[in-house]
Each structure stands twice: as C-alpha cells, then as structure tokens.
C-alpha cells in the first residue's frame, strides 16, 4: 500500500459505511435522499486515504433474505413479495458504482446501526494498531451516529466525520446530528479541509 505521508497516518483507518445501492440509488427501498449527492466525495475520500496509506474498511449491511437477522421494526420488509433490502448476494447489497473493494481493504458485515455492535471491528482495529478513525457514508442519524458514539465510548483517540462525505434524509437532520457529534469531541471537517490536513 503506497503512502505519500509515511507514518503520519499509520494509526488511522477509514470506515466507509453503507454506501450500497439499496441505500443510495433513486427508488431504492431504503433510500437515504442525501446519499447520491455525496458519492463523488466518498470516492475522493477513499482515493486520498489510499494515497496516505490509510486502511479502508467497507462497512456494509448484508441480511438473511428471510429477515431473520434484521431489526424487528424492519422485518416486515422481508416477507414474500417484499423488497428484502441489502439481502446477501442481491444487487441492492452491492456498493454503488465508483466504489470498489480492493485486495488490501477489509469488508465488515453488520446487521445493526453501529459498525461495532456484535462485530469484530474493535478487535480488528486493535490488531492493526489503529487509534484514530475517519468515518463517512450514510446515514448520519443512524449508522454514522451510533458508530461514532461507540468509537468515542471505546476511547479511540481521535474520531473524525467528514461532513460533506456523510448524509441523511434531509440537510436539517444531517446538521442536527453533526452538531451532536461535534459536542462529544469528534472532528467535523469538510472533505477539502481533511485533504489539506497534515495528520490525523
């Protein structure tokens, strides 16, 4: 993995959360209305992270087609004739165009809002010496927020949310959640600001 910044970013990982077709594309069953607009910034963030030698962790939902591992409030979406969002192996579970999992990347499957809940994420990050996290994707009030608050609770030294590479159903919801996230000590730069930063 090439790096333009040597060891400056060697304790940082990028989490790309739920940038899947069933959440982002128009007409998708779980559409986050602000999701499509951030795709170029998500692509750019990944490119910059790769150039800095930052590990990329693709956090995705992949559910049992019968909905047996889905939250109770969503199980009605997995009956006969229902859309069955992000079912394992479905087109809707794929990343949107422009986002590609490369050989050195890590894919993490979750079934709840937080990327840490009932997954091996924390142990994986500890194993590769990560103390700082950069988080992007959808959506701000659910998976972004809960992952961020869990990262704070787990004492990651620096947690960053790139505010124009994350999105919610409306700008107001996004802004309100960024306000809360910032109030627990999380950095909230724009993509341009993060690209100019010299260290995590």
pLDDT exceeds cutoff 60 at 30: yes
The yes-or-no answer on residue 18 being catalytic is: yes
Which pLDDT does position 199 carry in this prediction? 63
| Residue 70 contacts residue 64 (beta carbons within 8 Å) | yes
What integer best gives the mean pLDDT of the chain?
A: 95
Query: What would the pLDDT profile of 95-143 be if each residue is shown by its tens digit?
Result: 999 999 999 999 999 999 999 999 999 999 999 999 999 999 999 999 9
The three-class DSSP label of residue 177 is helix
pLDDT band at residue 5, thresholds of 50, 70 and 90? low
pLDDT, tens only, 69-88:
999 999 999 999 999 999 99
Average pLDDT of the residues in 160-178: 98
| 3-class state of residue 67 by DSSP | coil
**Would you list the domain boundaries of the chain?**
12-60+94-196
Helix intervals (H) in the chain: 21-24, 39-51, 121-127, 145-153, 171-182, 191-196
Let me know if 107 is a catalytic residue: no
pLDDT at residue 1 greater than cutoff 60: no
Catalytic residue among 18, 22, 150, 164: 18
110 as an active site residue: the answer is yes
Q: Which residue reads 């479905």 in tokens?
A: 90
* Local confidence band at 198 (pLDDT 50, 70, 90 cut-offs): confident
Note the pLDDT of residue 8.
Answer: 86
Kindly name the residue from 21, 110, 150, 164 that is annotated as catalytic: 110
Catalytic residue among 84, 143, 150, 164: 143
pTM of the model: 0.95
What number does CATH give the domain 12-60+94-196?
A: 3.40.50.850
């Amino acid at each position: 993995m090439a790096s333009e910044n040597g060891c400056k970013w060697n304790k940082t990982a990028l989490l790309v959360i739920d940038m899947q077709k069933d959440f982002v594309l128009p007409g998708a069953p779980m559409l986050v209305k602000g999701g499509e607009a951030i795709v170029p910034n998500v692509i750019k963030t990944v490119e910059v992270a790769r150039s800095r030698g930052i590990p990329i962790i693709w956090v995705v939902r992949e559910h049992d087609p019968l909905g047996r591992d889905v939250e109770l409030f969503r199980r009605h979406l997995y009956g006969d004739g229902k859309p069955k969002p992000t079912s394992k192996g479905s087109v809707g579970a794929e990343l949107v165009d422009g986002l590609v999992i490369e050989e050195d990347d890590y894919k993490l499957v979750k079934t709840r809002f937080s990327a840490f809940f009932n997954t091996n994420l924390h142990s994986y990050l500890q194993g590769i010496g990560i103390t700082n996290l950069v988080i992007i994707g959808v959506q701000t009030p659910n998976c972004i927020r809960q992952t961020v608050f869990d990262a704070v609770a787990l004492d990651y030294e620096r947690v960053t949310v790139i505010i124009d590479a994350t999105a919610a159903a409306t700008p107001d919801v996004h802004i309100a959640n960024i306000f809360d996230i910032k109030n627990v000590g999380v950095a909230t730069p724009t993509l341009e600001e993060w690209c100019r930063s010299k260290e995590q």
